[in-house]
Chains A and B, each alone.
Chain A
Amino acid sequence: MALALFLRSSARLQALPNLSRCVQFAPSSTSRPFSHLVQQLNKNPISATKSKVNVIATRGMSADHSKLWPIEKAVSIALLGLVPASIITPNPILDNLLAVAVVAHFHWGLEACVIDYIRPIIFGPVIPKLALGLLYLVSAATLGGLLYYNHNCIGIGCTAF
């Protein structure tokens, strides 16, 4: 880091025309390791820039979301068909699919709400974790309850009428 800073500032110094005319440290013995280092830095520009960015502000929220996102959208699209279908033609298969899709969907939805509103900066480090844990518990229990309802009672589709 320090080296990079140093090299950069010395490069700037060299860029000044007056100085560069004066500064001719061309003795080959000293200039070789110097240029060698510069080349190494240039060869790997990403690591060079990385070292400049010390802190990428972390929001402390969700982790990498790029893989889950398409799945969430697929479930939403599935719901788009499942909700009307299981109301119009109620049957156990649709009811069970709907139960799984709805629970997955509202779990992710409520997770976003919990993360947005029950933030560590407001509630401290413990409560947000408890809230998320509670959400997992409620979602799992609801899935169980809905499946139970589908198997032992009239099912979700019929209830909607």
Chain B
Amino acid sequence: MALIFRLSGKRFGQQMLITDKSGLFNFVRPVTLKAKPALSEKEEGHDERNMRLKRPQSPHLTIYAPQLTSMLSITHRFTGMALSAYAIALGLGAVVLPESIPHYIEELECAEIGSSCISAIKFILAFPITYHFWNGIRHLLWDAGKFLTIREVYITGYVMLALAISSAIALSAM
């Protein structure tokens, strides 16, 4: 292909030199384009690129102001991991522990640690599930495309927090 162009260019230039009488075209030389394979872009991932450019982690947690949005978001992940830990402990504990699970619960209830301490333990167990439950609804609503404006995200955030804390208190009082 390039050959055709070069050849035609040559012929073309000669034609011009012949037909041109003003002499202007003596300076004009036919342009020859050389075909070259395009250089491919560097294969580099998102992280590699940011590391090479010495960019700080995004969001830059040590300087970025904590906001309700980010704090609730990471808490959802944290409570999810806590609940997973509870579920894994229960599942593996049921098989591995020498006594049955109800036996340990009974022991805990009979131990003289005070009812407030029991309630505190219950709250620690209950809050992750209530938080994750109510915030899970929020996530699913977002996934359905609802409540996605900043204002709505804040409103649902406060409503969810109130529901999560009050239901956790209710559960740990039982």
Contact = CB atoms under 8 A, between A and B. Distances in A.
Interface of A: 1-3, 5-6, 9-10, 13, 22-23, 25, 27, 30, 33-34, 37, 54-55, 57-60, 73, 76-77, 79-80, 83, 99, 102-103, 106, 109-110, 113, 119, 121, 138, 141-146, 148-149, 152-154, 156, 159, 161
Contact of B94 (A34, A80, A153): A153
A161 to B, nearest CB: 7
B87 A102 contact: yes
A119 to B, nearest CB: 7
Interface of B: 1-2, 4-5, 8, 12, 16, 31, 33, 35-38, 40-48, 51, 77, 80-81, 83-84, 87-88, 90-95, 100-102, 105, 129, 133, 136-137, 139-140, 143, 174
Contact of A76 (B31, B41, B90, B136): B136
A73 B142 CA distance: 12
Contact of B91 (A13, A109, A119, A142): A142
Contacts of B38: 1-2, 5, 54
B35 A106 contact: no
Main secondary structure of the interface of B (DSSP, over half): helix
A109 B84 contact: yes
A57 B44 contact: yes
22 contacts: A1-B37, A2-B36, A33-B4, A37-B1, A54-B38, A55-B43, A57-B46, A80-B133, A80-B136, A80-B140, A109-B81, A110-B80, A110-B81, A142-B88, A142-B92, A145-B90, A145-B92, A146-B87, A148-B95, A149-B90, A153-B94, A153-B102
Contact of B1 (A3, A59, A103, A154): A3
A27 B82 CA distance: 77
Given A2-B35, A5-B38, A103 B87 contact: yes
B83 A106 contact: yes
B84 to A, nearest CB: 4
A33 B48 CA distance: 44
Contacts of A141: 91-92, 95
B91 A153 contact: no
A80 B134 CA distance: 9
Given A30-B8, A148-B94, A110 B133 contact: no
A57 B136 contact: no
